[in-house]
Structure 1
Amino acid sequence: MAHLALRFCGEEALLRTGAAKAGRPAAGHDRAALPDLAWPILGCLLASPHHRATRGGLMAQLWPDQDEDGARHRFATALWRIRSALAEAAPMIVAEGEVIALNLDAHAWVDAVAVERRLTAVLAAPQRLALPGERRRLVHALGQYRGPFLPERDQEWIMLQRARLQSLHLDALYALTAAAAQAGAWSEAQVSASRLCAAEPLREDAQRLLMEAHLRCGNRALALRQYRRCEAILAQELGVAPMPETRALAATIAGEDHGAAIPVLLPAVPDDATSRAALIDARDKVLETLRIIDRALTC
C-alpha cells in the first residue's frame, strides 16, 4: 500500500513516498496531483475538532451561496474524485452518515498534524528544551512548517486553523530562542531570534533577545543596528518609541551606562508547565466555540 505525505503549510502538495517513519515523511518521493477542491475539503476537516465535520457544515464552508441540492451534488462529486486520486492508499476521507471524518492512519503523513502535535507538546513542557537534543528536535519540527496553512484558501475554518498554526509556530520559536539563551547557546539563540524578529518585528521581547544574542556572539555593532531597526519599525508601524527596557538595553550595549554590567534579559522558562498547558487548552476551546457559532449561523 502506498504511503502518502500531504503538505498544507506553505504549499499544496501530495507526495507518494516509501515507508514513512514516525513523525516525518520518508526520503524520496514523487509528486502527484489532487483535484483542486480536495485541498479546501481536507483543510476544513483538519481544522475541525477531531478532524470530523458534518456534510452541512462543510458544504456551508465550501459553497455558502449554493442551494442545498446543488451543494450536495458538488460535494459528492468532489469526494468521489478525491477517493479516486487516492485509490491505492487507505481511505483518507470516511463518510459516517452525515459526518465526514479524516482518517489519518499509518499510511498518511500530514505536515499540519505533525507540526501541531510536536509544537503543542513542546509548549506544554518548555523546560525540556534545556536539553540540546530536544532543541534540535524542535528545530526539525519548525522546519516542517514551510509557511501559512493553505494560504490561498479563504474558508473561515481554514483561516482559523491558519492563525492557530502560525501562533503555535511563533510561540515555539520564541520558546526555542529563550531556552537556547538560558542555556548560553547564543549562536543558536541568534539564529532563532533572527527568524522570530523577521516574522514578528513588532515583538520587543524577541528584539531584545536578538540584540542580546548579537552582543553575546561578539558583535556589538550588529546589536545596536538591530535596535535601530526595531526603533524604526515601531515608529513607522505604531508611531511609538521602544519600551524603556529595550532602550535601556541599547544604552548599555552602546556603553552609555558607564560601569554597568551587560544585563541578561532572558524570559523565564517555567518549571511548572501546567498554566501554559491550560492556556493552550483554553485557546483551543475558544476556537472550537467559534466554529460551533459559525455552524449555527450557517444552518
Structure 2
Amino acid sequence: MEFRILGSVQICDDQTGMRVMPSGAKQRALLGALVVCVGQEVPSGRLVEELWGDRPPLGAANALQAHVARLRRLLLSSSGRGAHHDWLVTQPTGYALRADTSATDAQRFHRLVSEGREAATVDPDRSVRLLRSALGLWRGRAFEGSERGPICATEASILEEARMVALELLYDASLRAGQHERITGELEGLTVSHPLREQFHELLMIAQYRCGRRAEALGTYERLHRRLIRDLGVEPGPSLRRCRDAILYHFDPHPGREAVVGPSHGSAAPHPPALGHRPDDEVRMRLLAHEIALLRGRVEELYQEHRALAVRLSGSRALSLPPP
C-alpha cells in the first residue's frame, strides 16, 4: 500500500489499484502527519496541535482517539492485507503508522530526483526521463485539501522547495540534451509564476539564446533586473550576470551544456574554450577587450572635438595636436 501526499492525501492499494481519500480535512491532516513521520511515534499532544492548533476542543484527547479509530478502520478496509496487518498502532504516548518509509509517493519522488541528478552529466536524456517521472507524481499542492498544522505545513514547504530544485535540474538536463526548443515555453511560464527565482530566468535565457532569440534572452534579464531592484532592492546574482554578459557578446552562456544553435543571426555558437581555460575567464577577456575598444573610440571622439574647437577659435587653421 502506498500513501500519497503530493497532492490530496490518499491511500492506494498496490494490489487492487483502489484509491481512498479520507473524508474530512482533519482525517486527512491526521493521516498526512503520520505519513510524514512514518515508522515513528508521534506524541498525542503534537497530533492534537496538528488538528486543532492552539485552540483544542474540550476533551481533545477523546476526539483524537475517535479520529484515530476511524482512520484505523479505513486503513484496514483499504488494504489487501485485511486484518493481518495493523497499520496504525498505539504507542505509550502517541501513535505510529507502521509502514516502510519507501511506501510514500514523496519518497519515490526523492529517489527519482536523486537518480536523475546522478545521470545528468553522463546521460542527460535519461536524466530528463527520470526527472519528468518524478515531477509527474505531483497531483497538486502537497497535502491539498487538508487542515495543515505544524507537521504538514513544514513538510509541505520542504517538498515544494524540492519540487523547484527538481524543475531546475530537469531544464538543466534538457539543455544538456539539446532540447532547448521544447522547454522554452515551459520556462516562460515558470518565470511568470516564480518571478524572483533567478535560476529559472537563467535557464530561460540560455534556451532563448540557443533558439536564436538573443534579444529576447537579454530582455528576460532586464525584466528580472528591474523586478529585483523594485521588489527586493538587490542586483541579480553573479551567475545570472555572467550569463547575460556571455549572451551580450555572442558567447555560449554555459559551454557545459550542449549548444546547438548560436546567436540570433543564425551563425554557429562559439566553440567552448580549450581545456585549461575557464568559461568565466573567456567572458571577462571579451568584456575587457570591448571596454578597451569603447575607451579608444571615446578618446578619438574627444580628439576630433578638440581639433574642431581649436579650428573655430583660431578662425583660420587647426592647432597641431599630437594624436592620442
Counterpart Cα distance in 1 of 2:97 and 2:230: 45
Partners of 1:155 and 1:140 lie apart in 2 by 29
Q: Which has the higher strand share?
A: 1
Q: Following the alignment from structure 2 to structure 1, what is the Cα–Cα distance between the partners of residues 156 and 73?
A: 28
Asked whether 1:11 is paired with 2:8, we answer yes
The equivalent of 2:109 in structure 1 is 115
Q: 2:89 aligned with 1:94, yes or no?
A: yes
Cα distance in 1 for residues equivalent to 2:232 and 2:65: 49
Structure 1 residues 1-299: aligned runs within 5 Å:
6-12=3-9, 14=10, 19=15, 33-48=22-37, 50-63=39-52, 64-66=54-56, 70-88=59-77, 89=79, 90=81, 91-104=86-99, 110-120=104-114, 122-123=116-117, 125=118, 127=120, 130-151=123-144, 153-187=147-181, 190=184, 193-194=187-188, 196-198=190-192, 200-243=194-237, 246-247=240-241, 249-250=243-244, 253=247, 257=249, 260-264=250-254
- Structure 2 distance, partners of 1:241, 1:17, is 50
Aligned length: 249
Whether the 8 Å contact between 1:170 and 1:196 is mirrored in structure 2 is no
Contact 1:47-1:160 within 8 A present in 2 as well: no
Map Cα deviations across residues 84-143 of structure 1 (whole Å, 9 max, x no partner): 33342254422234342223369x9643343234335545x3646734123212101112
Cα distance in 2 between the residues matched to 1:129 and 1:35: 47
Does the CA contact (< 8 Å) of 2:50 and 2:150 recur in 1?
A: yes
Structure 1 Cα separation of the partners of residues 196 and 252 of structure 2: 23
Bigger radius of gyration: 2
Following the alignment from structure 1 to structure 2, what is the Cα–Cα distance between the partners of residues 165 and 237? 26
Change (3 A) 1:30 1:101: closer
> Deviation at 1:39?
1.2
Cα shift at 1:244: 5.8
1:178–1:266 CA contact under 8 A, matched in 2:
no
Give the Cα–Cα distance (whole angstroms) in 1 for the partners of residues 35 and 159 of structure 2. Answer: 11
| Higher relative contact order (Cα pairs below 8 Å, separated by 6+ residues) | 1
Q: Which amino acid aligns with 1:19?
A: Q
Q: Give the CA RMSD over aligned residues.
A: 3.6
After superposition, the Cα gap between the structure-2 partners of 1:118 and 1:251, relative to the gap in structure 1 and judged at 3 Å, is closer
The answer to whether the Cα contact below 8 Å between 1:135 and 1:176 also exists between their aligned partners in 2 is yes
